Structure 1
């Protein structure tokens, strides 16, 4: 079942009193339902079932940490990062030589609030809910280490990566963190498969949704109202497929900024699904909603349904040069242009590069065997004809046939910018 079909089923079940909207107001859900054609008129709606609030997150103490960027613990050298509010964007001119996996100290940071410092000895992951037999289970970090471990090489990418180009390339103003293309990182994650953990906790055939919640501070919206801790449901089919509860990153224990003691890694999906600082996982026999798959992380705008698209899942195809924007290159020599391309849907099939603003395209050489959930490194040799300004472009096509377009379809929050990015350089 695809996500759009599944989402419509969730909405119908909510109308019948069989789903729970945790922290989502009724008006939001009615708007979504009307846009999907699920309801004919508000007068026909039955009352929603009243449900108690979600239980508090499991053990562990947390405290906000000060740093060069408020709420981020690790050092953020200017040659590696660009501060973005409570976040830190990776600089692409610092990527050359780093290999397929982004070193932990260079990995971008996306925080809704602040990095919590959690006592790993007292931390517990609580797995509970009506989709389990009995009372569920609790796992300490030591418990996770005793379970069969698995490795997963995967990208984590913010849904808003590339957001700034809606304004700079398309003249469309959007709110939110003005990422260029550095809201992404690749790592080898190690941990326990979520499906294995759920089965140990007593997973039943009646399970429908899985709601992981973080231990970071409650998030407040633009109106100042608390929306609770960051949480976003996964359909059970995805949860038991390839999702990892990770406790290690690139061969080292998870750093604080990247989810210690344990985090979720949901390969191929937008970064919000990979909840950091896990504290609890609810397994429900009812479809679940949260603010992070209703008001946030849907596409709203004139080219989308009035109530928004289905919740965002996979990332779009993107490409980036391992070169600073506005870089100055020496004349009268051959330059090796290097970069990386990726897609949330399928491995990259080919990459084309233009050095004249898109008039002529040449196929780049791929340096990796393209694979799902990872980026592919590429290069192309270029000898500029003369000094002066140039506009470099790179576009990728994945094996599912998705190719980067010239423009991205606008959406109100600036998610999923996948158009070809114009990269200015100067020769001389």
Structure 2
């Protein structure tokens, strides 16, 4: 019978099992990368779904802001992923320990290695339903266990190996060192290989919308166009004469062309050139303020999800089902969707967990089709919807709330990035970010209201986003004056002006960026500009000699002043006037 270390070395076996567990996790990661088939992904998803509401609230409202103050994004979510990794290692370690113990009892190294391969493979396959990820975990675990077995048997010898007199002790030491060496190599290799795998090609590398198939001429009929209507006092985002000049007497870049800034006028705006014109318009209308994001957020657009590892959905495999209380159940594929008459719409999203002066609000040019048209095709008979995503997230709406919503597949002239819901997501302009369902999979029409993922946990973020004026830029100019700036957003109510007060003094009107242009459907409703897009503001002043407080507030299109009362993000979103101390 082959010699094995004695059973009075449980610590050695335990350490070897942990090393095999780490290797198994790394093997799964090497194959799956940052995709849902990585063994930690379903564990993290389970934790997110089952964690007590109070702990989740603490993670969102306390831990995450603390991390941001330390320069760590999404600390609460990172801790959840870390716990999932620990549980994953624990599971695979327990299986490796079972393999080692069984082999010791049977006195058969082949049994040990075989079980070290099969048990993790089965467990990971059950969790992920992916053969490749399961095989990666099983092979990695088996490699580490087998190296320990070979080292102990003497087939793998180290320099200065002990003689037979101390066989039991040295055997335990040799198999542990063999397992350690294997675990280090597998873990490092798995981390390196896994980091190079970012999911499917369509999700990893967004492509220009111009490269999509489908009826591009039909899409052209719904492009956002020129501000043909003159901004009025009553329209969203009206104010400041629409010329980009403010009370300071300063002008914007002055490069807007005579015919509505040069953006598409509706006859070809859906073409690549038309999209480019819209993006160029947004860039021209952006105020040039150091340390202030422009009107389009680009790659800095925030991401907040219930899981750290995003779904990896190929456009070719995607479809949207509309079922439930409908006369005609329908299924729409990606090519079907992108061949429909589309619209390009500027819209801002703000997370309901965003702090009062936080950075989880951003703007993009979105491309998609109206939800209402798809519901009409299905001939819905209910008044409520449940919308589900590929990451097990879900949200409930009334059909009326989605009157102006879109099924979106484009962002800033490109297909959606994976982190923003590729290949298809929901856009409900003016509402909180939590209802903008990513990785859209199905719409179920119901006759009764549905509570969404966050509503079941005590949040109330399905309504319109609160009005806020943020102050992010503070610059000392060469002449001694101070320049401050930020963004103002009022959901779909529009921003008329932003006012500023220094040390509690009189309110001063600031300079506003020109509103972003309305989409055709918005113009059809009589709106002069994008109804749910933010505006930049800036103000330059001669500062007092000492530190002073700068307070800002937004005024909505109908003259309503942003509420002063301060409220935390939980449960309905942060409110209040932003106040910042400016040092001399």
In the superposition, the TM-score normalised over structure 1's length comes to 0.63
The CA distance in 1 between the partners of 2:76 and 2:415, in whole Å, is 23
Does residue 269 (structure 1) correspond to residue 431 (structure 2)? The answer is yes
Does residue 318 (structure 1) correspond to residue 308 (structure 2)? The answer is no
Question: How far apart are 1:127 and its partner, in Å?
Answer: 1.6
Change (3 A) 1:86 1:122: farther
Does residue 126 (structure 1) correspond to residue 321 (structure 2)? The answer is yes
Question: How far apart are 1:401 and its partner, in Å?
Answer: 3.9
Question: How far apart are 1:266 and its partner, in Å?
Answer: 0.4
Change (3 A) 1:62 1:132: farther
Structure 2 counterpart of 1:143, from 315, 336, 354 = 336
Structure 2 counterpart of 1:329, from 476, 484, 488 = 476
The CA distance in 2 between the partners of 1:86 and 1:120, in whole Å, is 31
Secondary structure of residue in 2 paired with 1:232:
strand
Check conservation: 2:481, 2:543, Cα contact below 8 A.
Answer: yes
Give the RMSD, CA atoms, in angstroms: 3.1
Secondary structure of residue in 2 paired with 1:321:
coil
The CA distance in 1 between the partners of 2:290 and 2:444, in whole Å, is 38
Structure 1 portions without partners, runs of 5+: 1-60, 72-77, 166-179, 217-228, 299-310
Question: How far apart are 1:86 and its partner, in Å?
Answer: 5.9
**Counterpart in the other structure of 1:26:** none
Structure 2 counterpart of 1:208, from 374, 383, 390 = 383
Question: How far apart are 1:330 and its partner, in Å?
Answer: 6.0
**Counterpart in the other structure of 1:377:** 536
The CA distance in 1 between the partners of 2:478 and 2:376, in whole Å, is 62
The CA distance in 1 between the partners of 2:436 and 2:297, in whole Å, is 17
Change (3 A) 1:121 1:65: farther
Change (3 A) 1:140 1:96: farther
Secondary structure of residue in 1 paired with 2:307:
coil
Structure 1 counterpart of 2:578, from 405, 421, 427 = 421
Question: How far apart are 1:161 and its partner, in Å?
Answer: 1.5
Check conservation: 1:343, 1:373, Cα contact below 8 A.
Answer: yes
Check conservation: 2:388, 2:437, Cα contact below 8 A.
Answer: yes
Aligned length: 301
Question: How far apart are 1:380 and its partner, in Å?
Answer: 1.4
The CA distance in 1 between the partners of 2:396 and 2:437, in whole Å, is 10
**Counterpart in the other structure of 2:52:** none
Which structure 2 residues correspond to residues 14-413 of structure 1 after superposition, within 5 A? 62-63=36-37, 83-85=73-75, 96=291, 98-103=293-298, 105-114=299-308, 115-129=310-324, 131-134=325-328, 136-162=329-355, 180-200=357-377, 202-204=378-380, 206-216=381-391, 229-239=392-402, 241-298=403-460, 312-323=462-473, 329=476, 333-356=480-503, 358-369=504-515, 371-386=530-545, 388-409=546-567, 413=570
Structure 2 portions without partners, runs of 5+: 1-34, 46-67, 79-287, 516-528
Question: How far apart are 1:94 and its partner, in Å?
Answer: 9.9
The CA distance in 2 between the partners of 1:272 and 1:401, in whole Å, is 27
